[in-house]
Amino acid sequence: MSTQLTAGFTDPARDGARAFRQVLDAMAHPGRIATLDGLQAPAPASPAAAAILLTLVDSTTPLYLAGAHDCAGLRDWVGFHTGAPLVGPSEATFALGTWDALGPLSAYAQGNAEYPDRSATLIVELDDLRTGGAILTGPGIETEAQLSLPDLPALTANAARFPLGLDFLFTCGHRLAALPRSTRLRAC
């Protein structure tokens, strides 16, 4: 291994459970910002993205590391802690990278009419994640929510494919927000 590996969860069962509840809370309330604490990840992955990987990814879920995230340090860390096979976008169950590096959404599995769940989940690292920007409505949102989304036209097109489409986890430092395909979007 090229670099010293940073640790995973200190108590995998309990820490993993707490992290999942944050992710679940985010996914059940699109636009709501949750916090994922306490995990030192190798650069350039954010602590929140690292916690998501440890919570959801393993040897049964192919992972695409996009752009700068496809580096030796993160590859080793992912291999050691999750055992996830590293693949290209079309085979990936999960993908991690910046919005630009992740590339066109059409490269990922979108699910099919019988099994719409067989679509990728993208973990998108943002420089800025805050309440504000695009207006979100739909399941999980009482009236309206707002979230600083990277690319409204592409995400709107994704939502229009419901029940097919991708689901997104946006990360920034320790923070996390989710955008499932069920959320309807419009510009502020």
Partner 1 sequence: MSAYNFAYLDEATKRMLRRAILKAVAIPGYQVPFSSREMPMPYGWGTGGVQVTAACLVPEDTLKVIDQGADDTTNAVSIRKFFERVADVAVTGQTAEASIIQTRHRIPETPLTEGQILVFQVPIPEPLRFLEPRETETRVMHALEDYGLMQVRLYEDIARHGEIARAYAYPVRVEGRYIMDPSPIPKFDNPKLDNSHALQLFGAGREGRIYALPPYTRVESLDFEDYPFTATKAAGQACALCGSTSSYLDEVITDDAGGRMFVCSDTDYCASRVAAQSQEDAA
Using CB under 8 A, list all residues that contact partner 1.
12-14, 16-18, 20-21, 23-25, 27-29, 55-58, 60-61, 93, 112-117, 119, 121, 138-142, 162-163, 167, 180-182
Decide whether 25 or 151 has the Cβ nearer to partner 1: 25
Which residues have a Cβ under 8 Å from the Cβ of 46 and sit 6 or more positions away?
Answer: 125, 171, 172, 173, 174
Residue linked to tokens 């929140």: 48
Q: In this complex, which beta carbon is closest to partner 1, that of residue 12 or of residue 38?
A: 12
Closer by beta carbon to partner 1, 19 or else 73: 19
Quick one: which of 123, 163, 155, 149 has its CA closest to 31? Answer: 149
Q: Nearest approach, Cβ of 116 to partner 1 (angstroms)? A: 6
Q: How far is the CB of 147 from partner 1 (least distance, A)?
A: 16
Contact 51, 12 (CB under 8 A): no
> HSE of 37 in the Cβ direction (CA atoms, 13 Å)?
2
